Amino acid sequence: MSRVVLWLTLLFWVAPVCAVHAASESAVCFKCHKKADFSAKIVHRPVAQGKCESCHNPHVARYKGLLQKPDGQLCESCHKKREWLGNGAGGRVIHEPVRQGQCLKCHDPHKSEVKGLVHGKLADRCFACHKDLPKKFEGSTHSPYAKGRCIVCHLPHVADNYQMLRTSPDKLCLKCHQRKALNKAHKGYPVEIKDCLSCHNPHGSKRKYLIRNFLHEPFKKNNCKVCHSGGQPGTEVCLKCHKDISKKVLTLHNHFTSSTGNSCIICHSPHAGDTSGLLKGRQAQICRSCHEDTFKRDQDKIYRHPKVSHCGECHNVHGSNRLAMFRSEGSAVCERCHETQGKFTHPLGDKVRDPRTGQKMTCISCHKPMGTDYKYELLLSGEKDLCIQCHRNY
């Protein structure tokens, strides 16, 4: 009993002291920083409590804004990663700013008029990075998209689904679009209505009903039998018309593999697409859906190849007789951009052999273009370590 009394007494004296300290702390800050700039409908709890020092150092700091830690780490000190990232991020899709700890790309750390301390309107935050997306489409725009309610379909931090969708695409569509209405709209469709994104762009399109801009020729002509002449169409059905691609089946490394027997539809939509190639999304997104390891392995390297527009710039995405499905032989793939190095560089080619392996020297004997921790994407330090691998006498 006496112990309880002792604690209560202590609390009685200490609590006001703490409150006074916090208030005095913020009072000092607000001598220069306008208090009005920190007031809104939603105020970050440390700000409301006047605990500026929980994030900022009033005298000196390594980080911009006199922050105690880099912004991501600072947020994480209260908002524990495991609480919103789940138990381990293995196999989950993490939004790039979240992965890089750039919380302030979307959130205002002090105050906001929007729940979740979102910096301005949520859609504005999304469009700030996703610049290739138009705010409105010429033909039809999906209602939630038009209203800037990206969050209806997408999760902002981490998701278990491709493109950070809340659930699988079909499930998501059916949350708003009733099955009966869908059946009515697709009257005469010979099979069960599914895989909505195969024909519809969930954001918008030049066409009515969000149908993607480019149509597969037989689909456009309503000539379903060209492909659907019995059973599930296999890869061969596609290759009957796309003869230039059929040669790629006969290469050492190719992408002609799928348990469904049609590898084409892993990347291409058989009906409609946003590009003439009827790809199911941006090429890098499609590649990543299978080659997540490649993207993850290289994304945090210190030196990375400057961003290329798509994987197909260096790799032949259908098939190739070269290592890693490169588009062309040896260094030729690099020389298309790095012209000078193609003419004047360390000797390369058939006559110069790597003493370690007997393989001909190419750019990738020394560089790993996807990224390394050494300057110029070298495999080892270019100061010495890399050279003495072969030039031992030096």
Partner 1 sequence: MYPMPSQLLIIKQGAREVIRPVVSTRVFLGALLAIFFMAVPVWAVPWHHVLTLRGEPSGLAMNMPTALFVDKERSRYYVVDAANNRLLSFDRDGKFLSSFNAMGRLSIPFDMVREKGGIIWLVEKGKNSLTRIDLKARKVVPNILSFNGRTVYPDRLKMHGGVFYILNKANGDILCLDADLKVKRVFSCNGCRLGFVDFKIVGNDLFALAQAEQSVYRFSLGDDSPAKVIHLQKKMEFPCSLAVDSLGNFFILDRHADHVVVFDPVGRFKYSFLQPGEAQGRLHFPWEISFDPWGRLCIVEEGNGRVEIFNR
Which residues contribute to the site for partner 1 (CB under 8 A)?
Answer: 90-91, 234-236, 249-252, 256-261, 263, 290-291, 293-294, 297, 321, 323-324, 353-354, 356-360, 365, 389
Least gap, CB of 359 to partner 1 (angstroms): 5
Query: Which residue, 218 or 234, has its beta carbon nearer to partner 1?
Result: 234
- The radius of gyration computed from the CA coordinates of the chain, to the nearest angstrom, equals 28
The tokens describing 361, both together, are 């020297």
DSSP-derived 3-state class of residue 123: helix
Distance in angstroms (rounded) separating the CA atoms of residues 25 and 364: 57
Distance in Å, CB of 364 to partner 1, minimum: 9
DSSP annotation of 302 reads S
Judge whether 197 and 254 are in contact, CB under 8 Å: no
DSSP conformation letters of 168-232: -HHHHHHHHS-HHHHHHHTTT-SS----GGGTB-SSEESSGGGB-SEE-HHHHTT-GGGT-SSSS
Task: Indicate the residue among 90 and 188 with the shorter CB distance to partner 1.
Answer: 90
Give the three-state DSSP class for 353.
strand
Measured from the CB atom, is 172 or 361 closer to partner 1? 361
DSSP per-residue letters across 67-114: BSS-HHHHHHHHS-HHHHH-S--TT-EE-HHHHTT-GGGTB-SSEESS
Nearer to partner 1, 306 or 358 (CB): 358
**In the complex with partner 1, which residue's Cβ is closer, 112 or 263?**
263
Read off the tokens for 83: 């609480």
Closest CB 353 distance from partner 1, rounded Å: 7
Least CB distance to partner 1 at residue 110 (A): 40
Nearest to partner 1 of 103, 366 (CB atom)? 366
Strand ranges in the chain using DSSP code E only, listed in sequence order: 42-43, 93-94, 111-112, 140-141, 158-159, 204-205, 214-215, 253-254, 272-273, 319-320, 349-353, 360-361
Nearer Cβ to partner 1 (49/294):
294
CB of 189 to partner 1, least distance (A): 26
Check if the beta carbon of residue 55 is closer than 8 Å to that of residue 67: yes
Neighbouring C-beta atoms of residue 112, cutoff 10 Å: 18
The residue (of 140 and 263) whose beta carbon lies closer to partner 1 is 263
Helices and strands: H and E segment counts in the chain: 17, 12
Chain centroid to CA 166: how far? 15
Shortest spacing between CB 293 and partner 1, in angstroms: 4
Beta bridge partners of 158: 94
The distance of closest approach from Cβ of residue 299 to partner 1 in the complex, given in angstroms and rounded to an integer, is 13
Least distance in angstroms from the C-beta of 76 to partner 1:
24
- For the bound state, the minimum distance from the C-beta of residue 261 to partner 1, rounded and expressed in Å, comes to 4
Which is closer to partner 1, CB of 159 or CB of 379?
379
